[in-house]
Structure 1
Amino acid sequence: MIYPHQLLLLILCLVAIGYYCYGIYAALEFFSHPAQIDPDFHPPITILKPICGLDIDSYENFASFCQQDYPEYEIIFGVRDEHDPSVTVVKKIIDDFPERDIHLVVSDRTIGTNLKVSNLANAATLAKHSLLLLADSDVRVGSDYLQRVIQPMQDETVGVVTCLYRPQVQGWVAILEAIGISTEYLASILIARSLEGMNFALGPTIAIRKSVLEAIGGFGAIADYLADDFQFGYLSAQAGYKVVLSDYVIDHAIASESLLDFIHRQTRWNCCTRVSRFWGYAGLIFTHGTAISLLLLIATGGSIFGWAIATLTWSTRLIMAWVVGVRTLKDPVAKKFLWLVPLRDLISFGLWCYSFVGDTFEWRGRRLRLTKGGKLVERTNDFAKVLSS
C-alpha cells in the first residue's frame, strides 16, 4: 500500500527524472549546431567593463580582452573610486597594450541602487560604437571571443547576445558553488532556452545594440534591480527583439572565501528569483529530485521500491551533470568533482527552502530589501556603495 505523502514524493521524483532527461537533450541539441562564422562580419564594438576591487587573476582577465583577433574595438573600464585597487591594474593594461583603444572612467555618479549599472552607465558616456558588449571583470576569454559572440548580430532583429560560462575556482567552497553552476544552473538555462526561447541574459557577457538599450529606457531602467543581467534580456525581449544564447563558453572566476559567503550569495539570488517570479521559483520543487528521492526513501522505510526510485533519480541526475558540465561545457571542475553533485543538490534544496523566508538580507554590511519585481531598497541611510560589484 502506498500512502498519499509517498505518492506525492513519487510523482515529484518522476517529474524530476523527466526534467533531467530533458536537460540532457537540451544540452546535446544546443551544442550539436555550432554557429557559422562569417569572417567578413566584424562591426566595431565598445566593450564596457564595470570594476570594483580585485578578482582572481585580474590582470590576466583584462589582458584577454586586449588580445582579440578582431579589427576594431575599444575597451572602457568604469570604476567609482580612483583609489580602488583595480585602477592600478587597468593603468598597467593601458601601458602594456598601447595599440589598443582603452579608457578608464572614474566617476561616482549614481543612477540607481545597483552601482554596477551606474558604473556601466558612466563608462558608456565615452562609447564610440553602436554595439556595446558588457563584460564582467572576473571573466577570461579566448582571442576568438568577439568574432564568435557578435555573429548573431547579423540578424537585425537580434537585440541581445549572451553566453554560458565555465567556473574557475580557488578553494573548496568555490568548488561547491561551481558544481552547482555547471551541472544545475546552466542546465536550467539550456532547458529554458529549449522550452521557451531566451527572454533573459547572463551577466558575464551581454552584447546589446545601443538602439535597443535606448528602446528599453537605457541603463536607468535597470539601475534599481539586483538581477540587472536578467532585465537586459527580459526588457529587450518585451520590446520585440530577439535574445540569442551564443555557443561560445567563457571562463568565469569564482572566489567564495567562506561557506557563509557562499550561502549569503546564493540566498540573495534565490530571493531575487522568488520575488520576481514566485510561481516559477516555487516550481523548482520539480527539479530537486536528489533531495525528494531521499525523502521518499525515508518515507518508505528504506524499502526496495524506495531504493529503486532513489537509484534511478540519482543516476539520471548524474548523467545530466556529466553531459552538461563535462561533455558540453568541458568544465574541468565538474569533471574532477562530479561525485560532489548529490551533496551540492542537497545544499541547493536547503537554500531553496530557506529562501521562502523573508525578503531582507545583509550585503557588505548593509541591510537591503527586495521588493516585488526584484528591485532593491536600501534599508540604511548609507547609500554609497551597495552593489558595487
Structure 2
Amino acid sequence: MELVLAIAASSLVLVNLVSICLAWRRMTPRSTPAPLPSATPAVSIVVPARGIENFTAETLDCAFRLDWPVYELIFCVARGDDPVVGEIRRAAERYPSREMKVLVGDDRISANPKLNNCLKGWNAARHDWVVLADSNVLMPTDYIQHLMAGWRRDSGLVCSTPLGSRPQGFWAEVECVFLNSQQARWQYAGESVGLGFAQGKSMLWHKPMLDAHGGLQALAAEIAEDAAATKLVNSLGLKVHLVSSPFEQPLGHRTAQELWSRQSRWARLRRVTFPLFFAPEILLGVVPPMLLALGAAVLADVALAPVALAVAAAVYLPELALAAAKGWRVSLLSLPAMMVRDVMMPAVWLRGWLNGAIDWRGNSMTIRAEASELNGGVSGA
C-alpha cells in the first residue's frame, strides 16, 4: 500500500513539474518586446468600465499611449453618473489626438454584466479587429503588437491571462501566486498541448468572423464570456491562442475576504462551464501529493519531516524558478503565500460545487449548473 501511495504522490509532483516546463518553454519573460508586425490594421479597443479602482488613472493613461498607427478607444459604462466617466474624460484631455468615445447604457442580453456592458461598444466598433479589454489591464505600449503576434492561421481568438503585480499586503501576494505561477502557468501549459481556453481580460477578435456566427450575443451562451468564446471557437475548428507574455493587472491592497470571494466565484464559473476540467483541480497544489507521501511514510515507518520537506521543495522550488525567470512578482512573501494558496485550494474547489448568489463588481448573481441569472444592479467590467 505504501508503494501505491508513494507512486501516486510522485506522479502528482511529476505532473506539476511537467506543467512548469511546458509553461516555461511557451512563455517569454515579461520585458520581452513584441515581434515587429508584418501588417498594422486599424484596431478598436472596447473597454467596459465601472467605478474607480486602485490604478484607474494609470491604466487609462496606458490605453491612450499605445504604439499602434490607428486605433480607437471605446469606453462602455452602464450609468452616466459613474465616477469612472470623469477619469476617462480627464485622460482623454491629456491625449486630445487619440480617437475615443464613451458609450452609456445597460443592454441586458445575458446574466453576464461585463458582456452586457460591452455590447454597445462592439456594435459601435469601426474596425475589423476588436480587442475586448478589462479596465484594470495595464497595457504596455506594444499591447496590440503582442496580441497581433499571437494570431496564427488557425486562430479564432487571441487572449492573455492576467499577471498579478504590485501587491500591497500579504493577501495581495497570495492573489499574485494564484494568478501567476498557478493559473497562468496551467493555462499556458494547456495551450501548449492543444487545450487552449480563453481568458476574458484581453481578447482579440476578428470582428467579421464573430459577427458571422452570432456576434457578441453568441458569447451569452455561457455565464462567463470566456467559456462561451472557447466553446464557440472550438466548434468552428479553430483554436484559442495566448500572447507570448501575459499583461499585468496591478492589484494594490487585497483582503482575505476579497481574495476568497474572487477565487470562489471563478471556481464556480469553471465548474458550471467546464465541469470535466474543473473536477481534477482538487489534485493541484502541494496538499494532495503531501498527504499521499506522508501516508506512505507512515506505513513504511519513515520519518515524516524529511518527506514533507522533499515534497515541498519539489513543488515550490520549480514554481519559484519559473516566476523569477519570467520576471513575475517574487518576494520574501512568495513562498508563504504559495503555502497559504495551496491550503485554500481544496476549500475553493469544494465551494465551486455549491450554488448560490455571488457579488460581481456590485452585481448580485446566481450561478447554477442549470441556469445563471443577474439578480439586480447594473452592468460593470
In structure 2, the residue matched to 1:29 is 25
8 A Cα contact 2:3 2:296, kept in partner: no
**Structure 1, gaps ≥5 residues long:** none
Matched, 1:207 2:197: no
In structure 2, the residue matched to 1:388 is 380
In structure 2, the residue matched to 1:165 is 162
Amino acid at match of 1:136: D
In structure 1, the residue matched to 2:147 is 149
Matched, 1:127 2:125: yes
Matched, 1:231 2:223: no
Deviations 1:89-127 (A, max 9, x none): 111111111110011001122211112101111112221
In structure 1, the residue matched to 2:173 is 175
Pair 222,45 (structure 1): closer, same or farther in 2 beyond 3 Å: same
Deviations 1:206-262 (A, max 9, x none): 101102222442221223633212322331122122322111321113356432222
Indicate the larger mover: 38-47 or 219-228: 219-228
Pair 195,334 (structure 1): closer, same or farther in 2 beyond 3 Å: farther
Question: Quick one: distance in 2 between partners of 1:123 and 1:9?
Answer: 54
In structure 2, the residue matched to 1:19 is 15
Q: Cα RMSD over matched residues?
A: 2.6
Amino acid at match of 2:236: A
Figure out how many residues of one structure are paired with residues of the other and give that number. 375
**Structure 2, gaps ≥5 residues long:** none
Indicate the larger mover: 315-324 or 28-37: 28-37
1:187-198 residue pairs with structure 2 within 5 A?
Answer: 187-198=185-196
Question: Quick one: distance in 1 between partners of 2:34 and 2:137?
Answer: 24
1:1-389 residue pairs with structure 2 within 5 A?
Answer: 2=1, 9-31=5-27, 37-153=35-151, 155-168=152-165, 169-198=167-196, 200-223=197-220, 225-254=222-251, 257-294=254-291, 296-297=293-294, 300-301=297-298, 303-304=301-302, 306-328=304-326, 330-333=327-330, 337-356=334-353, 358-363=354-359, 364=362, 366=364, 368-372=366-370, 376-378=372-374, 380=375, 383-385=376-378, 388-389=380-381
The Cα of 1:137 is off from its aligned counterpart by 0.4
TM-score using structure 1 length: 0.87
The Cα of 1:307 is off from its aligned counterpart by 4.1
Amino acid at match of 1:165: P
The Cα of 1:298 is off from its aligned counterpart by 6.2
Indicate the larger mover: 47-56 or 346-355: 346-355
SS at match of 2:279: helix
SS at match of 1:237: helix
The Cα of 1:45 is off from its aligned counterpart by 0.4
Indicate the larger mover: 226-235 or 97-106: 226-235
Pair 32,107 (structure 1): closer, same or farther in 2 beyond 3 Å: closer
The Cα of 1:288 is off from its aligned counterpart by 3.1
Deviations 1:25-61 (A, max 9, x none): 1122113698972444111100000001112211110
8 A Cα contact 2:173 2:337, kept in partner: no
Pair 366,24 (structure 1): closer, same or farther in 2 beyond 3 Å: closer
The Cα of 1:132 is off from its aligned counterpart by 0.3
Question: Quick one: distance in 2 between partners of 1:32 and 1:272?
Answer: 29
Question: Quick one: distance in 2 between partners of 1:69 and 1:53?
Answer: 27
8 A Cα contact 2:173 2:333, kept in partner: no
8 A Cα contact 1:233 1:243, kept in partner: yes
